[in-house]
Structure 1
């Protein structure tokens, strides 16, 4: 399923989309597939599958810990396609990945294997369009979305050039620094979304910090998508066993889905 289809649906319903993030292979390979199923069943409109990396400099402590567990359990890059294939078809599935992993695998090969698994596109937090010629060509060849990031520090010129290279949606990094659930959403986010809308008609997803339904509703009042990662990972880090984590994830996703529908 393509990202544009999901946003057409949520726009028709007059609401923002809920985007749920979880690293592949966490808490185990099979349980990451189960967790994504749970998110879809309880109202997630789009899924971001994280590709675990040994040096996740932009991720907060929760996601770093989850990626570390997956890697120590033996997770390999090729297994991300197993996860994507197992969950694709109902909602768009995107991979969020540091670019070094794609280069090491081979950009063209990665795009081909991802498309064959039913994936919709990549979110590339450490890749800028100026340095993305190989990915732009590969994504065109395999009809994949490409989601680049804008931040509060981005100049208007940088925002314009970034959104021009995007396909699917634009990722608005609403706070500076690493990811993580926060007690309050970013005050810079609405202004960043406003500045970004001046340069594109693409949907704008807002990420970093949302942890509950109230915050989801707040972000949904100005963003086209609410992106939640650390709070979802926390469902497993803060419980004693995986079944309890699954139950907590179902409850959290239901709450977040309610929030974006207010």
Structure 2
């Protein structure tokens, strides 16, 4: 573990130095992400000027849900997105050979080589939104509730990572997966909606089969109503299953890979 920690810290140092070399680019993308976060928050303010509740969720409960969604997505983007997005391109170009030659677990080396500081910077903005919503709701979560919230956010990041890894692993069999990657973020937009807003086929698809709704509703529900045994069991099981499937597909793709370089 110490060996991998040193590798990851070296990657962090590399990413920081690279970001500081291109400070204008770093600042621009951080502001772009901040702008889209502000648009999402403003949309809630507009919606609740015309209603008191959406699917039983009040304004600040919805803001807590949105903040949780943004927190998970910013962590995913900051820690893993660039690495998994580039994996398909590296497989097609043959640059994936570089990772095969490295002394470490292949999945770790592929998924942690870079971090995006602009996304990680906005993690604090997302946390501020969550704290603000908790204050407005006058909630007093216990230490156990806060630890469970952090665990559920980690599960959300894990499930999202697994989905992206599955999509990126398609590159071992196909020419590209850019369109599918874009589809993932379209699906993730559903995470900003309450679970109660879904019914019928949509509930089965986005709550149970593709748990894009549960990954945000479970942490928010914990802070508002306390720990739920159903949410805990389902989210832990879903995280384990999705990671197992994604890693299995990735390992199978590795066996199929042959260098495309000269």
Q: TM-score range by the shorter chain?
A: under 0.3
Query: What TM-score does the superposition give when structure 2 sets the normalisation length?
Result: 0.23
Question: Larger Rg: 1 or 2?
Answer: 2
More helix by percentage: 2
Structure with higher RCO (Cα < 8 A, 6+ apart)? 2
More strand by percentage: 1
